[in-house]
A and B are shown apart, each in its own frame.
Chain A
Amino acid sequence: MKISRRNFLKTTALTSLYFAGFGGASYANSGTKKNLVIIMLRGGMDGLCAIPVKGDKNFEKLRSKINLDRTLKLTSDFDLHPALKTFKSLWDQNLSAAVHATNIPYTGRSHFDGQNLMESGGKIPYQEKTGWLGRGMKTAGLTGQGLALALPMPLLIRGVPMNNNYFPVGRSLPYPTTLELIKQAYKDHDEKLLSDNLEIILNRDFNNRSRDDAWILASSAGTELSKPDGPKVAVFEVDGFDTHAAQGATDGAHADCLSDYDNIVRSLKSSMSEEAFNNTLVLTLTEFGRTIKQNSSNGTEHGYGSAILMAGGLVKKAQVHTDWPGLKKKELFEGRDLNSTIDSRAIYASAMSTVFDVDFKKITKYVFWGENLPNLSDKLFKA
């Protein structure tokens, strides 16, 4: 076990001081359109399955039935799950990176509460009716610039009006003249929310007759994100990470989910213009990691610390950022889960600050209720 606790947070503190010394950096909009894509991994993504730690005998023993027999190489300390092929090819071009042993500060291990909190960014489940991304967009004034590739609007992006969502129905819409009459009826009844949404439908540029495979959605999103006046934010969902039983190793349920993620990234990359991809950040979000130890059904239980996969041209460099807590019994959270040593809200706040060109303090104030989070922008992302 070569890896030891890094001074990640110490340097981060210095970074903040550096900014303070200059009385706040200037965030002049450079004029280039930047995009933020969040891929939600529902069910609890196993960070140690996606990015397993190398040479930890104890870890291998605890996961004797679900260890990977084949991996892709990342660093001297970490490997990569073989399903993450696109991620690996981006890594080789310095276009992907990861943060490990990180999570939202939620330790309750319930999907219901956890998924609610990963989207709301709050601390008490079901209390917030808006998502952290929606509030961030509102703070940055990004009205009407969000796109969810999902049928109902995810909580994550709620909180800013006029977001769009696309999940093709596979049929054509009623005649425009009929839609106009419905629009009038909404207006007559003062149904502003309905009117606003119909307005989006009437003006958008999507094919309602297409299929709804994840790669098609990603390709439509990529095209839209590349347009100078297109959306700046996109949200995807991948389900099925809750592998209590038969999690599998190189192949299996968890591998299939990781592969769904990888396909979205591949399709985004291929549908976006080079300039757009170079100005894009694609981050994952999950409710919690999974237990270190496999359970008796060769699955894993709900845990705590997980990993965030990052891709796109705004990634600073190919690196696994971590303040590694270790996997010895006493180093685990409650003796069973990978600990979280980096509050993942700091990463999302830094990402929003970088992509939306908004001062970091302003983001933490309006999105995370003034929570004292470290600014990691400089460390993780290109300005």
Chain B
Amino acid sequence: MVYDVTTSWAMIHHLDNSESAGPKSVTAGEEWRRRKKEPATINENHGRELLELHTVSPKAGYTQEDVIQLAYIMTGWQHRWSKKNLETGNVWFNSEYHQRGKKTVLGKEYKKGKKALASVIKDLVNHPNCRDFVAERLCRYLITDEPTKDMKQPIIDAFKKSDGHLPEIHKAAIKVAFDYNGKYKKFQTPENWLIQVAKIADLNWPPSPELMDKYELGQRPFDSQREPEWILQNIGHHPYRAKQPNGWSDHSDDWISPELLIRRLVYAKASYNFSKMENNKNAAYYESIVEKNFDNPSKIMKYINQKNRPVEKHTLLFNHPEFLKA
């Protein structure tokens, strides 16, 4: 999978690998480069991210030279534009851009050519730091900010045993999350919180798969199709625009600040606008959802019954500490 992602059109294009040219490649010696004064240089962007985010993480202790060498291995992998508007084309290996000679990444030597990328990726995903990195991220996301060694071990074992088969790794992670469920309560990220609100309140939201499937490539999405993106942005968790380039934080404290709490207050209130008619008419609605989802239903009912209007009850319920932490 890492290989497929690495050689996917979007990654090759957006991480600038198509512009990466080996200084010791066929194209480096071309006449037009001399004439236009455009010597062949590498673009390290994709190589660096392959090490840092997609496989071994900086804990593996790789150096700038490792990044350069990996970028050399990746020279030649380029995207082709599709003739159709807004469609991705193919990815191909342009041997004229490929850096000649052997390369060394994390102490291991790789031959020149197209096949080297698959070999180096195989070695990177089998590196112990890659397993540890994946286990750590899963535990942090599901259980606690500070995963323990014991917590990670079953996931690392599943990774080894299944040779990195993701469904097996995820199964192990979910099992660990259940095992530690009583012990740790984690303040939920805005996205998880929103999905919980939608599920527990039985909202007319998120939009149905039928509506989302009506989207056609090259068309402008309907406003109703873009609504999930907008709401997530407004609660501080835009699905693809994290402030830090390594994505959104998995640490609880990073999600608690005045403005972020304001977003939950405001959107808990707004969630009432997505209520289903039948729920609005059902007198036992709050009792049934509280009964089903909280450890101490009578206490929660007493709390939300301090207000009469349903919109206020929504605001109270979805900002209760027992709801914010799970």
Contacts and interface: CB of A to CB of B under 8 A. Distances in A.
Provide the main secondary structure of the chain A interface: loop
| Contact-residue size bin, chain B (C-beta under 8 Å from the other chain) | 35 or more
Contact of A171 (B43, B244, B266): B266
A178 B243 contact: no
A54 interface: no
Interface string A21-47: 000000000000000000000110000
Contacts of B321: 185-186, 189, 191, 194
B19 A115 contact: no
A204 B261 CA distance: 14
Contacts of B269: 174
A193 B253 contact: yes
B120 to A, nearest CB: 19
A297 B19 contact: yes
B76 to A, nearest CB: 14
A173 to B, nearest CB: 6
| Contact-residue size bin, chain A (C-beta under 8 Å from the other chain) | 35 or more
A181 interface: yes
B40 A296 contact: yes
A152 B255 contact: yes
| Residue with the highest number of chain A CB atoms closer than 10 Å, among B40, B53, B256 | B256
B307 interface: yes
A197 B243 contact: no
B82 interface: no
Contacts of B307: 177-178, 181
Interface string B260-280: 111101101110000000000
B144 interface: no
Provide the main secondary structure of the chain B interface: helix
B262 A208 contact: yes
B41 interface: yes
Contact of A194 (B20, B44, B261): B261
B258 interface: yes
Contact of B48 (A109, A175, A181, A245): A109
A201 B265 CA distance: 11
A167 interface: yes
B50 to A, nearest CB: 12
B98 to A, nearest CB: 15
Interface in B279-326: 303, 306-307, 312, 315-316, 319-322, 324
B260 A152 contact: yes
A296 B41 contact: yes
Contacts of B255: 152
Contacts of A348: none
Interface in A90-135: 107-113, 115-116, 125, 129
A178 B52 contact: no
Nearest to A244: B16
B246 A112 contact: yes
B324 A111 contact: no
A153 interface: yes
Contact of A197 (B44, B64, B257): B257
B58 interface: yes
Nearest to A153: B257
B44 A152 contact: no
Interface stretch (A158-166, A250-258, A260-268): A158-166
A112 B244 contact: yes
Interface in B3-28: 16, 19-21
A152 B254 contact: yes
B245 interface: yes
A348 to B, nearest CB: 20
Interface string A174-190: 11011101100110010
B245 A197 contact: no
A194 B233 CA distance: 21
Interface of A: 42-43, 64, 107-113, 115-116, 125, 129, 148, 150-155, 158, 163-167, 169, 171-175, 177-179, 181-182, 185-186, 189, 191, 193-194, 197-198, 200-201, 204, 208, 237, 239, 242, 244-245, 293, 295-297, 299, 301-302, 334
Closest 9 A/B residue pairs (Cβ): A153-B257, A189-B321, A112-B246, A297-B19, A111-B245, A165-B259, A151-B236, A200-B258, A174-B315
